[in-house]
Amino acid sequence: MNRRTFLEGVAAAAALPILGRQAPAANEWGSPVFDLHFHMRPQPPATLAHLDGAGVTKANLLTRAGSLEQVKATMGAAPDRFTWFASYDVSKPDAEQVLTQAVKDGAQGFGELKFHVAADGPELRRMYALAADLRVPLLIHFQEVDHFPNEGTWATGYAKTFAAVLKAHPKTTFIGHADAFWANVSADYRNEASYPSGPIARGGVTDTWLGEFPNLFADMSANSGNNALSRDPGFTPDFLKRHQDKLLFGSDCGCADGHGAGVSQGNNPAASRLAGKCVARETLTVLKKAAPPEVFQKLVWGNAHKLLKIPA
Closer by beta carbon to Zn ion, 117 or else 295? 117
In the region spanning residues 20 to 49, those forming contacts with Zn ion, defined by CB under 5 A, are: none
Closer by beta carbon to Zn ion, 279 or else 295? 279
Rounded least distance, CB 6 to Zn ion, Å:
46
Contact yes or no for 129/169 (Cβ under 8 A): yes
List CB contacts of 43: < 8 A, sequence separation 6 or more: none
Contact yes or no for 126/95 (Cβ under 8 A): yes
Quick note: the x/- pattern for Zn ion over 214-253, rule CB under 5 A, is ---------------------------------------x
> How far, CA to CA in Å, does 166 sit from each of 157, 210, 244?
13, 11, 20
Task: Work out which of 131, 278, 290, 308 binds Zn ion, going by CB under 5 A.
Answer: 278
CA distance 45 to 55: 15
What's at 168, amino acid-wise?
A: A
Rounded least distance, CB 41 to Zn ion, Å:
11
Closer by beta carbon to Zn ion, 31 or else 268? 268
Rounded least distance, CB 184 to Zn ion, Å:
15
Q: Does 141 bind Zn ion (CB under 5 A)?
A: yes
The window from 84-92, 139-147, 160-168, 204-212 that contacts Zn ion (CB under 5 A) reads 139-147
Range list of H helices, 80-234: 95-104, 122-134, 158-168, 179-183, 205-212, 222-230
What's at 90, amino acid-wise?
A: V
Q: Does 130 bind Zn ion (CB under 5 A)?
A: no
Rounded least distance, CB 311 to Zn ion, Å:
27
- Residue of 282, 175, 301 whose CA lies nearest to 223: 282
Q: Does 255 bind Zn ion (CB under 5 A)?
A: yes
> How far, CA to CA in Å, does 235 sit from each of 59, 105, 210?
28, 41, 15
- Contact residues: Zn ion, CB under 5 A: 141, 178, 253, 255, 278, 280
